[in-house]
Structure 1
Amino acid sequence: MKEVITLLVILISASFVAGNCPLDQMHAIGLCSYRIVCINTIKDVKLHSDCQGSSNYDVKVDVTLQNASETFHIGADPEFLAMITTLTVHGNWPRTDLSFLEDMYRLRNLYIVNNNIQQIITNDIEQSGPFRNLVSIEVIDLSHNQISNIGELFQFEIRPSSMQSISLAYNSIVEVPGDTFGELSSLIELDLSHNFIRELREEPFCNLTHLKTLRLNNNKIKYLNGALKNLYNLRHLYLTSNQIQKIDMESINTINHLETFDISKNLIEKIDPTLFPRHWKHFNNGTICKILLSDNYITHVPNVSIEIAERFRRNSITPKLAYTKLDLSNNSITHIEYNAFSLLELKSVDLSNNKLTDFIVNPKDLIYVRYLNLSGNYLNRLYYESFSSMHSLQNFDLSHNYMEYFPDQSLSNTQNLKYVNLTFNDILELHSLRITFHPEGGYLDLSNNGLSALIIPDNEAIGLRELVLSHNNISDAYLIRLTDQHDLTRLDMSYNYILELDESSLQLPEKLGVLDLSFNDIYRIAPSAFNRMSNLKTLRLSHNNLKIIDHGVFRGLTSLLNLDLSFNQIGQLDSKVFMDLQYLSLLSLRHNGLNVLDSDGWLSYKQDLTVYLDGNNLSCQWLAKALTDFSRGYSKMNPTVLETVMVGTSIQGIPCEQEVQNYEKPKYLADERLLIVSQKILEAVQEQTSLMKRFMWHAILHEAEQRNARNVSRFYFR
């Protein structure tokens, strides 16, 4: 640490005149390691003598040059420029030769991003590019410019052996000439995305034998033309958002080695079965390959032929287990053949937003599937055979289909379901749910159907923790019978048509912790309606038609912490109706039009209770007293709002109504300032009264003492 501080002091003292490199932007971050920010140009910055030309230390100098002049290197110390290892330049150079790179032979990372470069001038005589002397270069980033010609950019006098990454993304490149990357056999990542490339040829890529990631997405490519056939070490290929109609056979061998093959958002109509088999030998156990074919025009997924399967098995004598994530969403698929997914070892399948009317595939191909998305199709039933071996299924989305029943028979062999989405179907009633969820618990969403009744008997839907029934046609809560669902902890019945609740309405399990009945039409809740829900922690009754809350309504809710009664029509409320809620800590009464709230029942409350009162008509006198009682500790009830009011009559941002003091006299408007002043006057009067009492008491005692003294003296004089 002392060495770092010493180097920082030396660096600052050696550059105290550097007006272009502010002192507070120079940092020594390690032994012979510096981070420097300069403006316009680089001047008068020197390293410690032990670090200059040092072979004993790994010297790292990271320079960021803002608002840079193209000639910033003129007048700069060439020895310092030669020590820079990372350079980030921000400027505006439509036409440049990057001459400042001439002496930066130690440069490893170069970032010239968003500099409005339209043309980089190369040396026509020497036939060499501007990076010719960068023998140590590893990363070159020229993204977010307007470069169109890259033909001779990457010509070197001595071939760089450490070059790993080049980014030319977000430029105006139309063509990639044949010898562009010929000297960069060590390249690992190449980014040509977001350009205007129309045609690929083999030559620019044939020497990139170590390339692992190639980004060609967001161009105008129509054909691959075998350009990828020699890239046997390629692992990640991004071709999304082009105009590709077909994958040529010359490129297929390379594509079958990929871990990521993204060809989404193209014009593909047919799938070649040879796209799917993976060559396992270079994958590690547990590798997940991704094949993304979404947003194309595919109508049919064909079988993997026996010939292809046999050829694949012969070439994979010692296969290693690698999984595949397959995305075929947003196509026009009407049919999937029985053996379409053979040899894929599928981990997830996305077939959402297609035109499937059935889903019949070889169950052996779905053994490892954890995620299956069939939403947005035309399915009205599922076939048991397809799901019979799906023991690993955890996430299943069947929303936006035409299911009229819950497909519990098809899912009867699944034991690990965590999330099931059946929203936006045509399910009207359910009288059984023969499925088993994951031991950690399951989530079932049946919202936006036509459900009016749901009965789940004992030993069914085992492990169900959360159930969503919102946006259905439930008008009688009694028809939702879940008393045998002992694992259920959260139930959402919002956005339905429930009118009233009585003691027999809620046929729910005792373990339930959260119940949402908001956005219904509830106008009446009978006493003891929640009597059997002793473990409920949160109850939402907002956006209903409640006008009166009777005593005993919340009887039995001995564990309730949060109660939401907002957006009802409760004009008057007695706090004693909440006396059964001994642990209540949050009560929302927002937007009820309350004008009377008797809070005496909370005076003996033993813990803090936050009450939200936005959008009501309570008097300022009541509010002032409630706030005073809370601040002085007389009451645990804290009146507050979610959104403080800045206009109108309010106290501490809580709106209140001014009241008439005397109907026979002119109206007197009470506001917060008057209440505060009155309170202070009252406190002062009380203090003065106390002082006067103490003074009078001392005067009485003093007079008594004098009287006793006189009596004693008379006695002695006698």
Structure 2
Amino acid sequence: MTKQICRVWIFCVVLTTNPSDEKVTNQLCPSCDATHFCDCSSRNLSTIPSGLTIDVIRLNLSYNSIKHVRENDFKRSVNLRVLLLQFNQIWTIDNGSFIFLRKLEHLDLSNNKLTNLSPSWFGHLFSLRHLNIQGNLYSTLGDNPLFSNLKTLRSLHLGNNNSFSAIRKQDFDGITVLEQLEIHGQRLRQYESGSLTTVNNISHIILNLNDVQVLSLMLEDLINSAICLELRKVAFRTPDESSMLEPMSRSIMEKLVLKNVLFTDASIARVLNILGQAKHFLELEMDNSVLQGTGLWNEQIEINRESSFEVLTIRSLFIEKFYLFSDLSGMENLIVNIIKITVVNTNVFLVPCNIARHFSSLLYLDLSENLLADPNLKHSSCEGAWPLLQTFNLSQNSLGDLGMTGQSLSHLKHLTHLDISRNNFGQIPESCQWPENLKYFNISGSQITTLTPCVPQTLEILDVSSNNLNDFRLKLPFLKELYISKNNLKTLPATVYIPDLVALRINRNKLTSFSKEEFDSFRKMETLDAGNNNFICSCEFLALIQYQEAITTVLANWPENYICDSPSSVRGQQVKTARLSVFECHTVLAVSSVCTVVLLVILLIVILGYKFHMLWYMRMTWAWLQAKRKPKKSHNQDFSYDAFVSYSERDTEWVENLLVQELEYSAPPFKLCLHKRDFLPGKWIIDNIIDSIEKSRKTLFVLSEHFVQSEWCKYELDFSHFRLFDENNDAAVLILLEPIKEQTIPKRFCKLRKIMNTKTYLEWPLDENQQQIFWNSLKAALKS
């Protein structure tokens, strides 16, 4: 019972922990991209992610803390092609860990802590082409052949610089062809002869050794298989040490690469003699190596007549006393057949004229990143030097006189390609002398401000990038390609100077735009790189670029390098997707339309104002506001009138025949102010109304249907209300000539509604017997 409970508990623990582990793993290892590549590098993983799916094709688990590769880690990854596990802490791999990876082509286990290698790891990797097990802690490749089942393996990297000490015969069993084999063995001291003979063909073998005797045994096994041999971190200090390379003279090797190798005057001559005897040897390359000495070689260099040594490449060769180096006498026989020489960053300041004349087969010469100056170049390129030279690279030297440079090289009749970039020419002369067949000319990065006819007229390709040019006005009738990037040009070059141009690179200038006419003028244009300029994305330019497919098919790096600089509304956007508003594209039309609309609105306002007396209303409102700001009347103020009569013109008969007669001719008489009679002629009517109301003790409103329809009566009522009625509740007297229903009073007579609701008014009776009572009441109201 207890055992059953324990099993259940363990089962529950597994169920509850696995999902969480997988969840954490998924958080640390993001999902694959569209190409099914999962990049899980540098995520501090301690185990292989458990969430890998069958879709994963490439998996990068490098730079983590994985220690153990378990048997079921890759159970679901049956379609995996690339597995990168370098730079972890792996010290154990279960025997069946890779059994499911039958489609795996690339496996990198380098720089881990594997001490013992097992053939069972690789037994089922039938598709493996690239294997890297360098930088682990093993001392041998094991007791049984590791690679016997890897029939498709083409690239193998093994060994380490600390503990790898022995290679035995069975180590490479099963491998017959390799494109690249790299062996690191700075501590390798034991090599069984014949270990590498099982490999029939090795295109490129890299040996990182320091034991020249072990190296000699390996070279003996590689006589009939290695095509290219690369030696790293080997020191040849004596002729006897160099003699260990003697098997190379009998091999089929075609190329020797020396990286971080040390030579002396005594040893270099022996190496050159060995190479000179090899029938198939074609190319020697030296990179970051050291030559101790001054070039005074006691051993005479002998060259086999059947030798086909053609290519010499030297990069960053360190010669401590380069300024004391000899004139290379004695090497004449070695260089006769060389057709290509590259000597870069090696402090070359002079090529002796005698040596230059012996390069009778030389077609390509690269002396870039050295110390050649104009006088030394003239000596090096003496008459008869490099008679067949076609390509000459003199970039990044100490040249400063373009005219002198051209004169020094003018005798090279076969020279077609010349690179003198990254020198310090600055100002160039008006005319120069150049080789007659020059086609390619690179003068980029030379601080040139203006181009002159000094530039060869025979050119088909010209590179003047990274200078200080403001324009291009040089006539080159045969030019097909122009590289003028990183200058200060604001427009495309005129085709009148370069009518046959096929390719133009004018990126990183100050180009703001170009027109269809400018583009069409290049009738043969196939490639135009105008990216990374300060484009003004006007409507015309956007329309040209966005709707002319013939242009965009020619533009290089379209559309990612074509960005708008202005206007601000589209700054930073790609020219392809930028959109401007109608106002930005049709400014004149938009402004004209707006102005037209504004004028029409103004005209409409003027017409409406004229029709509805808007000006009069505005003046009246102003007068009203001024009146409202006047100080209040004093109760002791002298009045000129007893009452100001506000009435409609249509009620004039009642006012003049009845009201005036009854009030002004009574005893005592009342003095009334009537607008028809008492308003001051020539004075604005509003001012007359205001003055009359203010000079009257009372304001008498004769109300009728005609009154509420009169605009003048409304304003007389308003003035009376704001100036008098608010100050004295008895200042207004209402006479109702005829019944007026409240709902018939227009809303604009809101003041009248208020007065009628708050004050008592007098009604004019139609019965003559009642009229005397009306008059008595009115007179009493006026006297109050």
Structure-1-length-normalised TM-score: 0.51
Post-superposition offset of 1:293: 1.5
Report the RMSD for the aligned CA atoms in angstroms. 6.4
CA deviation digits over 1:424-455, x for unaligned, max 9? Answer: 233632422321336xx423325414565633
Shift of 1:589: 10
Tell me the amino acid that sits aligned with residue 440 of structure 2: G
Change (3 A) 1:609 1:171: closer
3-state SS in 2 of match to 1:298: strand
Alignment partners' CA distance in 2, 1:179 and 1:223: 16
Q: Secondary structure at the match of 1:388?
A: coil
The residue number in structure 2 matching 1:675 is none
Q: 1:266 to 1:419 in 2, by over 3 A?
A: same
Q: Which amino acid aligns with 2:564?
A: D
Listed as ranges, the gaps of 5+ residues in structure 2 are 1-48, 51-56, 62-67, 556-561, 599-784
Q: CA deviation at 1:642?
A: 1.5
Residue 429, structure 1, aligned to residue 458, structure 2: no
Deviation at 1:272, TM superposition (A): 0.3
Matches within 5 A, 1:13-412: 71=71, 94-96=91-93, 98=95, 113-114=108-109, 118-119=113-114, 121=116, 130=119, 142-144=131-133, 147-151=136-140, 153=142, 155=144, 167-169=156-158, 174-179=163-168, 184=173, 189=178, 193=182, 197-201=185-189, 203-204=191-192, 207-209=195-197, 212=202, 215-216=205-206, 221-228=209-216, 229-230=219-220, 231-233=222-224, 234-240=226-232, 242=233, 244=235, 246=237, 248-256=241-249, 257=251, 258-268=253-263, 272-277=268-273, 278=275, 282-283=279-280, 289-298=282-291, 302=295, 307-309=300-302, 312-313=303-304, 319=306, 321-329=308-316, 331-332=318-319, 333-334=322-323, 335=325, 337-340=328-331, 342-344=333-335, 345-360=337-352, 362-363=355-356, 365-381=358-374, 382=377, 383-385=380-382, 388-404=385-401, 405-412=404-411
**How far apart, CA to CA, are the structure 1 residues paired with 2:83 and 2:152?**
20
C-alpha separation in 2, matches of 1:119 and 1:149: 6
Q: In structure 1, how many angstroms separate the alpha carbons of the residues matched to 2:106 and 2:167?
A: 25
The one-letter amino acid of 2:417's match is: K
List per-residue Cα deviations over 1:251-270 (Å, max 9, x = no partner).
22134543232222345565
Instruction: Report deviation, 1:325.
Output: 3.3
Matched-pair contact (CA < 8 Å) for 1:435–1:462: no
> What is the CA distance between 1:614 and its match in structure 2?
3.3
Summarize deviations over 1:523-551 as a string: whole Å, max 9, x none.
Answer: xxxxxxxxxxxxxxxxx87269xxxx9xx
Q: Which residue of 1 aligns with 2:452?
A: 454
Q: Contact 1:165–1:189 at 8 Å: present in 2 too?
A: yes
Letter of the 1:389 counterpart: W
Counterparts of 1:109 and 1:175, CA distance in 2: 27
Query: Following the alignment from structure 1 to structure 2, what is the Cα–Cα distance between the partners of residues 593 and 165?
Result: 53
Whole-Å separation in 1 of the counterparts to 2:565 and 2:81: 58
2:148 touches 2:175 (CA, 8 Å); kept in 1?
A: no
**Structure 2: how far apart are the matches of 1:215 and 1:422?**
36
Secondary structure of residue in 1 paired with 2:243: helix
Q: Is the CA contact (8 Å cut-off) linking 2:139 and 2:163 kept in structure 1?
A: no
**Partner AA of 1:275 in structure 2:** V
Separation in structure 2 between the aligned mates of residue 422 and residue 65 of structure 1, nearest angstrom = 43
The count of aligned residue pairs is 492
Q: 1:613 to 1:113 in 2, by over 3 A?
A: closer
Given that residues 131 and 153 in structure 1 are in contact (C-alpha distance below 8 angstroms), is that contact kept between their aligned partners in structure 2? no
**CA 1:617–1:433 in 2, change beyond 3 Å: closer, same or farther?**
same
Q: 1:626-641, aligned counterparts within 5 Å?
A: none
Q: Does the CA contact (< 8 Å) of 1:518 and 1:543 recur in 2? A: no
Contact kept in structure 2, 1:490 and 1:513, CA below 8 Å: yes
Tell me which residue corresponds to 1:486.
477
Distance 2:58 2:578 in 1: 48
Q: SS where residue 291 of structure 2 aligns?
A: coil
Deviation at 1:608, TM superposition (A): 8.0
Q: How far apart, in 1, do the equivalents of 2:290 and 2:517 lie?
A: 60
* Pair 255,137 (structure 1): closer, same or farther in 2 beyond 3 Å: farther
* Equivalence for 1:12: none
Query: In the alignment, is the contact (CA less than 8 A) between 2:500 and 2:524 conserved in 1?
Result: no
Question: For each residue in 1:560-590, what CA deviation from the matched residue of structure 2 results, as whole angstroms up to 9, or x when unmatched?
Answer: 4799xxxxxxxxxxxxxxxxxxxx9x99996
1:613–1:654 CA contact under 8 A, matched in 2: no
**Does the aligned pair in 2 maintain the 1:280–1:320 contact within 8 Å?**
yes
Structure 1 position 158, deviation (Å)? 13
- Assess, with a 3 A threshold, how the Cα gap between structure 1 residues 490 and 433 changes in structure 2: closer, same or farther: farther
**Structure 2 residue 575 is the aligned partner of structure 1 residue 642:** yes
Is the contact made by 1:467 and 1:488 (CA closer than 8 Å) also made in structure 2?
A: yes
Q: Tell me the SS of whatever aligns to 2:142.
A: coil
Q: Does 1:413 align with 2:412?
A: yes
Larger radius of gyration: 2
- Quick check: 2:372–2:399 contact (8 Å CA) kept in 1? yes
Letter in 2 for 1:237: L
Over the matched positions of the two proteins, sequence identity in percent amounts to: 11
Q: Secondary structure at the match of 1:362?
A: helix
SS at match of 1:325: strand
